[in-house]
Chains A and B, each alone.
Chain A
């Protein structure tokens, strides 16, 4: 039986994927928690006496995030108020089950919970959306709506930070995907551990340097309760290619995940490359890089029976929105004269 590499005298119980060291259970917990504490303190993620909303889906990442944040908050006296924020997309058989897990988290960790639903925010559940648009491009709708929903929820709760459970594998995948798609703007932003969404509530990713495999290991050994089924609408998304590549590379050399993040952090974009600038959506006031934010475009499409409005060329969407807007029906509208 190999000895624990932290030289504590106990037998090693597991091999941690991130460094390859053999550790006993307790030393693994200690290392795992200390690394997240290091990330939080070194990157100065939180200020004392503030409120943090934890984006909770009931999945392994958000469960472990909630558990560890509470643990570290108590242990190292961050003096944070922690609340759980969950979004109900209205996916039968998936979201209603995972919401039960979140409620369990609320009871186990004794944190207040707020649930916002797509139905309340947008008037559509994901089930209704998929019935309208078919099984393609579902993730586009869900992702755009969820991001806004989380920001709105955080604003409603008047919190100072929104913490999400994005782990190292997620970030590495996103970097690869953005290179493959040529999305420079996202490539530049996706490695930031704190992202300001423009309206004042920063999003932080305390698990940015934590391996997904280690999160699963931690949850397993600590016997944490989480929901582990894939969304029923997850199709063959392009992200799947980046994911498979990452998994294959991890088999060859697990340090690849940290390598990719390191590369992503040190990429420097040409000054001459054009990058979008942030403004406010003319319809809902939410932060956006276009005149009308993506959520408004998608909603307009759904409400007007043009489900493909937000999918595809944004110039087309712009034109259709203009044609449909009430002001253009009059002859004197300026847009008609452009």
Chain B
């Protein structure tokens, strides 16, 4: 059913022309203080001067942490560092927050974990990347640990793979082959990417070993929107609140938090620019949109956002209104999420199982049709999937 115009966005009578984009004029003032001239326009309409923008961004960060009241003074927090604007902004937020001399300062003890995973680069490029990251991260003066994804996955226990200095980290030429072999029983890219979520369990293991109660990830709003849709498309509907909410409380001891979930790329990039931060850049692996559901979803969200700027925020808000089934006691051995016992109703999963079964069973034409069906049904019910 067509729903153009149902959003209630357009109030104007005259819809013959596209709405004119407001051109900034030199007489404009900052939306907030109404005194200084603006230096940035966010969301195509909100103008802020430098001071208000910086103050507002930092406040947004602190408010999100404070609202959930999860972190207490002296709690240790493990920050997952990834190359890019969001991670650098996150470190800067935390550093300035800790250094405040007022009672409003942040009070927890962060440490940084960097997991090198650019296996498409040469060995020298990867080593140089780690050295550069160490330099950048060292500027913030937090305890830091380095590892490589292959080592983290293969080491037992995982904390053995951590190094405190980048030169101690020995990368291997065959890291990519080892990883590929690890994933080879997954049949397609989508499943391989999904399987790699095992890394989250490893983060939790390492966090426990380092006595951290919390983990921060640098995911921003568009990452979370595409994660939500990817979860839906891979059948992980019930995990949406865990994978996209502010707090992932799967594990009883370590909670994963997403403090940047309300920020978009432009805000953080500009924040970094105003603070003269230059994140280490890395040549990204070419992500073909049609190779996996995850890639396709990222591209879809970014494309749709261009024409419908409310897309990302709406998807996030929808996710916020979903909750986890509290009644289940069992947890999945692989992803540690609660397993919800199905009720008596027919589900898509059961229907798919039946389709698989029926396509491979030989119909017995020697009996009447009702008996023929009942035979297949009975053999189906005898298979146990639980």
Contact = CB atoms under 8 A, between A and B. Distances in A.
Interface of A: 5-8, 16, 18-19, 21, 23, 27, 30-31, 34-35, 37-39, 42-43, 75-77, 136-140, 142-144, 175-177, 179-182, 184, 187, 193, 209, 234-239, 241, 245, 248-249, 251-253, 255-256, 258-271, 273, 308, 311-314
B40 interface: no
A162 B267 CA distance: 51
A262 B348 contact: yes
Given A34-B376, A237-B2, A263 B236 contact: yes
A258 B351 contact: yes
A179 to B, nearest CB: 5
Nearest to B190: A253
B234 to A, nearest CB: 6
Given A30-B363, A258-B349, A267-B322, 15 more contacts: A19-B356, A21-B359, A34-B376, A35-B351, A35-B358, A179-B229, A184-B318, A238-B2, A239-B2, A239-B3, A259-B232, A262-B235, A265-B237, A269-B322, A270-B322
A35 B360 CA distance: 13
Interface string B352-364: 1011101111110
A30 B364 CA distance: 11
A235 B5 CA distance: 12
B186 interface: no
Contacts of A6: 359-363
B58 interface: no
A16 B5 contact: no
A267 B349 CA distance: 14
Contacts of B360: 5-7, 21
Given A7-B362, A180-B311, A252-B293, A238 B4 contact: yes
Contacts of B354: 35, 38
Contact of A248 (B296, B340, B350, B369): B296
B165 interface: no
Nearest to B349: A262
B135 interface: no
B232 A263 contact: yes
Contacts of B352: 18-19, 209, 255, 258, 262
Interface stretch (B8-16, B17-25, B119-127, B167-175): B8-16
A259 B352 CA distance: 9
B2 A264 contact: no
Contacts of A31: 355, 358-359
Interface string B321-350: 111110000000000000010000111111
A111 B245 CA distance: 52
A273 B89 CA distance: 33
B36 interface: no
Contact of A39 (B188, B236, B349, B351): B351
Q: Classify the secondary structure of A's interface with B.
A: helix
Nearest to A42: B346
Contact of A235 (B2, B238, B291): B2
Given A76-B370, A139-B1, A179-B315, A252 B292 contact: yes
Interface string B296-322: 100010001000000100110110011
Chain B interface extent, by class: 35 or more
B377 interface: yes
Given A6-B362, A38-B351, A268-B322, A260 B4 contact: no
Contact of A252 (B238, B296, B323, B363): B296
Give 6 closest A-B pairs by Cβ, nearest first.
A139-B2, A263-B237, A143-B1, A259-B235, A262-B348, A237-B2
A281 to B, nearest CB: 19
A33 to B, nearest CB: 9
B240 interface: yes
B290 interface: yes
A241 B315 CA distance: 15
B359 A252 contact: no
Given A31-B355, A139-B2, A237-B2, A38 B377 contact: yes
A43 B369 contact: no
Contacts of B292: 252
Given A176-B229, A313-B8, A264 B318 contact: no
B296 A313 contact: no
Contacts of A271: 323
15 contacts: A5-B359, A19-B352, A39-B346, A137-B4, A140-B3, A140-B6, A234-B2, A252-B190, A259-B235, A262-B237, A263-B233, A269-B321, A271-B323, A311-B6, A312-B10
A175 B377 contact: no
B142 interface: no
B7 interface: yes
Contact of A23 (B323, B345, B356, B359): B359
B4 A236 contact: yes
A182 B4 CA distance: 15
Nearest to A76: B370
Nearest to B3: A238
A38 B323 CA distance: 31
B109 interface: no
Contacts of A21: 356, 359-360
B348 A37 contact: no
B326 to A, nearest CB: 9
Q: In this complex, which of B300, B340, B350 has the most chain A Cβ atoms within 10 angstroms of its Cβ?
A: B300
B279 to A, nearest CB: 31
A140 B2 contact: yes
Nearest to B361: A6
B373 interface: yes
B4 A16 contact: no
B311 A138 contact: no
Interface string B245-268: 000000000000000000000000
B238 A245 contact: no
Given A263-B237, A267-B237, A43 B345 contact: yes
Contacts of B376: 34
Q: In this complex, which of A34, A187, A238, A308 has the most chain B Cβ atoms within 10 angstroms of its Cβ?
A: A34
Given A249-B233, A262-B237, A270-B322, A313 B3 contact: no
Contact of B238 (A184, A266, A312): A266
Contacts of A27: 359, 363
Given A179-B228, A180-B311, A253 B5 contact: no
